[in-house]
Homo-oligomer: A and B are copies of this chain.
């Protein structure tokens, strides 16, 4: 049995959902983690019309697929970020508006609240996403960056996200930050700092994804064990380190897929993530949600990869023991 396995649709946004569900069903997935871009899950339409939500759900059910979470990384990113031209490409014209940074951030904040409302209508209580960060780009402390500068970044995060998280909580929905470079939290230490900044807000947790930790040399199981009740959702995604002496772990300003990069995403099982300890850690904290494959590998055919990944997850996911072995040695 094991946990349900879903496919995150963000990397398939070029396909209409009606086409994607057929493939996903045929490959044997249990469900989808719908991305709030492409036509996969459109927040505005969901809030406008009951029928939109009903039709999405019907489409999934007709293919025997379930949905436990939706994701809105792109809008979340813009809540705290210093906004530049790249953000325009990930936002709808409505949210981008005139592109004035503070206006963009405020509209993005409203949009992420709307996502929670739409999630509730759709019957899903987890929204995965990003938060952005006003201090991520100050990761190297030159020019000299004081802890005051950094604290200001965490306060900015708290000021912008606490109202959002309050709204989530009111709706009975939780926000799962994908701990990830470029976000307010990207390792165990910074997630702890972010969580403290929002006073352990009950609606704030983690979309666990080891592929963003491995190239930072963070042990993914430590993130799980340190925040056992904050693992709201889990991605299956892998990355691989590829250091040659010439290139930097900071990626040398090379694009994903460039074989000269110091690390890159690869299909699960091809990288440096060790899955067995992660399953054990998820078992220890009683994570019962889906294992959602976010498939991204610039060197492999996407459809081959999705199927290969599903087979891997079916194989690696095991239930915890309910036997104590020492006891079996004792005489009855």
Contacts and interface: CB of A to CB of B under 8 A. Distances in A.
Given A246-B219, A299-B320, A89 B330 contact: yes
A271 to B, nearest CB: 9
A270 interface: yes
Interface in A287-331: 296-302, 304-305, 308, 318-331
A14 B300 contact: no
Interface stretch (A50-58, A136-144, A162-170, A203-211): A136-144
A143 B92 contact: no
A31 interface: no
Contact of A300 (B186, B189, B298, B320): B320
Contacts of A246: 187-189, 218-219, 222, 226
Contact of A139 (B219, B225, B253, B318): B253
Interface in A255-294: 255-257, 259-260, 262, 265-267, 270, 276, 280-281, 283-284
Contacts of A10: 328-329
Given A73-B329, A89-B331, A91-B331, 9 more contacts: A90-B330, A142-B182, A186-B250, A217-B248, A217-B249, A257-B324, A300-B319, A300-B320, A305-B318
A25 to B, nearest CB: 20
A331 B142 contact: no
B259 A181 contact: no
Nearest to A187: B248
B216 A250 contact: yes
Contacts of A262: 216-217
Nearest to A95: B331
19 contacts: A1-B304, A10-B329, A11-B328, A73-B329, A74-B331, A89-B331, A144-B329, A188-B246, A193-B253, A216-B250, A217-B248, A255-B326, A259-B280, A267-B318, A270-B276, A296-B325, A299-B321, A300-B319, A304-B319
A265 B321 CA distance: 12
A12 B308 CA distance: 33
